[in-house]
Structure 1
Amino acid sequence: MQTVHMPRSICDDVDKLSRNFLWGDRPTHRKIHTISWDKICRPKERDGLGLRSLREVNNSFMMKNCWSLITEPNKLWVKVIRSKYKCQDGVIPRVEKKAKMSNLWQGICLNWKHVMMHVKWRVKDGCSVRFWFDS
């Protein structure tokens, strides 16, 4: 699940199984739900059970992979991905969708904009900034 972007339908099906298990529902017999699923998914500090939807967890893992693509350029998997999809060698690579892409790259492409919204430049000595090419 950490390297595979799971389709929404699969996430929803697994979440449905979790809800049915927690509420004691069976295919033939459905019980009354006295509390909403949204309240169950709240953090424990806000009186919930701290459960998270599978879609949120999967997106979090994909965003972690995006962050590793930026901050850990010497990892083997990052080198392979950057080489395979011809990312720039800059500090922040350009991520573009391709006609044929792996499930990992698809997840990175779908979550890239969410990660980039929170990336900030820190002023230092300027050796890692390519002024004309970085955007």
Structure 2
Amino acid sequence: MQSMMIPRKVFDEIESLVKQFIWGSSEYKKKMSLVGWDSICQPKCCGGLGFQKLRDQNILFLLKLGFNIVSDKEALWVRVIKAKYRMNGILLESIR
């Protein structure tokens, strides 16, 4: 999840399992949710449980990885990635 974009269908399936766990429901015994998922994903200071949506978390991990590639040019793993994908020169030109 920290190094590649996860498909939306996988996120939906995982979040469905998490919701079933929170509400205490199963495949055979469905329970009605008393609070919306968006309310649960709010920070604790705003009345939520502090959960994060998996899609948002995945995007944040990828942004952090991209930032580290741009800012820490001398790290070994950055040099390996740049050599593997032939990212010589300016990063934006390499993406095109």
How high is the TM-score relative to the length of structure 2? Answer: 0.88
- Counterpart CA distance in 2 for 1:46 and 1:88 is 45
Q: How many residues align?
A: 95
* Alignment of 1:54 onto 2:58: no
| 2:7 paired with 1:11 | no
| Aligned residue in 1 for 2:79 | 79
Identical counterparts, % of pairs: 33
For 1:89 and 1:96, how far apart are their aligned partners in 2? 11
SS in 2 for 1:89: coil
Partner of 1:42: 42
Unaligned runs of 5+ in 1: 98-135
Cα distance between partner residues in 2 of 1:73 and 1:35: 45
Higher mean C-alpha deviation, range 44-53 or range 72-81: 72-81
- Say which structure is richer in helix: 2
Q: How much has 1:52 moved relative to structure 2?
A: 0.5
Measure the CA separation in 2 of the matches of 1:50 and 1:56: 13
Letter of the 1:21 counterpart = F
Q: CA deviation at 1:73?
A: 0.7
Runs of 4+ in 1 over 6 A off after TM superposition: none
Shift of 1:96: 2.1
Moved more, 66-75 or 79-88: 79-88
- Supply the AA of the counterpart residue of 1:33: S
Offset of 1:16 from its aligned partner? 0.9
For the residues of structure 2 that align with 1:16 and 1:38, how far apart are their CA atoms?
A: 13
| Partner secondary structure for residue 30 of structure 1 | coil
- 3-state SS, counterpart of residue 78 of structure 1: helix
Pairing of 1:1-135 with structure 2 (within 5 A): 1-90=1-90, 93-94=91-92, 95-96=94-95
CA distance in 2, matches of 1:70, 1:96: 13
5+ residue gaps, structure 2: none
Give me the whole-angstrom Cα distance separating, in 2, the residues matched to 1:89 and 1:79. 12
